[in-house]
């Protein structure tokens, strides 16, 4: 499996709109086992996205999906930048089938 945890900084006041867009765009991605969007508890404009994929190849392939490309286009004006980014190797857990 392949995991990715990343922080996204939204335009001030647009975090909820960005979160909603990310959540809507996350369905139907082949190979995606988990996609969680979370509010940063300390920073009012930051989000954390935690992804688990069956492989890094599935993650890369998802970036070419028309629905994901459309979501990226819509999200760009709402994003100021990105913070920390961590790649992981998930081994299991609640809600993940291996």
Largest CA distance in the chain: 39
> Residue 50 falls within a domain, yes or no?
yes
Residue 43 placed within a domain: yes
In the DSSP assignment, the letter for residue 80 is: E
> Residue 83: CB partners within 8 Å, gap ≥ 6?
6, 7, 8, 9, 46
pLDDT tens for 29-74 read 999 999 999 999 999 999 999 999 999 999 999 999 998 899 999 9
Number of domains the chain is built from:
1
What is the reported pLDDT for 26? 83
Tell me the pTM: 0.90
32: left (phi over 0), alpha (psi -120 to 50) or beta: beta
Q: What pLDDT band is residue 97 in, cutting at 50, 70 and 90?
A: low
**Structural domain boundaries enclosing 19:** 2-88
**Per-residue pLDDT tens over the stretch 1-12:** 999 999 999 999
């Amino acid at each position: 499996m392949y995991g990715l945890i990343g922080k996204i900084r939204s335009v001030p006041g647009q975090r909820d709109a960005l979160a909603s867009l990310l959540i809507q765009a996350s369905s139907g991605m082949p190979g995606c086992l988990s996609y969680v969007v979370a509010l940063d508890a300390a920073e009012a404009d930051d989000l954390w996205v935690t992804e688990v994929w069956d492989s890094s190849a599935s993650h890369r392939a998802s970036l070419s999906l028309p629905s994901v490309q459309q979501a990226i286009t819509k999200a760009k004006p709402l994003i100021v930048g990105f913070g920390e980014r961590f790649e992981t190797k998930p081994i299991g857990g609640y809600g993940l089938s291996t």
